[in-house]
């Protein structure tokens, strides 16, 4: 996974995961830490992605 801050491809995956189970990474170039959602529209959402998409699906269906 590329770093969303410096676009470097030299990242390492960390052992721990976020509260919602997303993988964490660390950039070797700039030293910043980020997860799978960093830099996306879903970055600040506090519910798991699958639950959010299910709610949106049912909302659009009815």
pLDDT category of residue 26 using cuts at 50, 70 and 90: very high
d(CA 39, CA 3): 9
In this predicted model, what pLDDT tens digit does every residue of 49-58 receive, in sequence order? 888 889 999 9
What total of structural domains would you count in the chain? 1
Instruction: Give dist(CA 45, CA 32) in Å, integer.
Output: 21
Is 40 within a domain?
yes
Q: How many CA atoms lie within 13 A of 56 on its CB side?
A: 7
- The confidence score (pLDDT) of residue 43 equals 77
Q: Distance (Å, rounded) from C-alpha 24 to C-alpha 48? A: 15
Q: Which domain holds residue 38?
A: 11-61
pLDDT class of 36 with cuts at 50, 70, 90: confident
């Amino acid at each position: 996974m590329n770093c969303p801050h410096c676009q470097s491809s030299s990242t390492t995956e960390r052992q721990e995961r976020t509260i919602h189970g997303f993988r964490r990474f660390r950039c070797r170039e700039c030293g910043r830490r980020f997860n799978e959602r960093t830099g996306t529209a879903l970055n600040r959402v506090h519910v798991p992605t699958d639950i959010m998409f299910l709610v949106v699906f049912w909302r659009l269906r009815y």
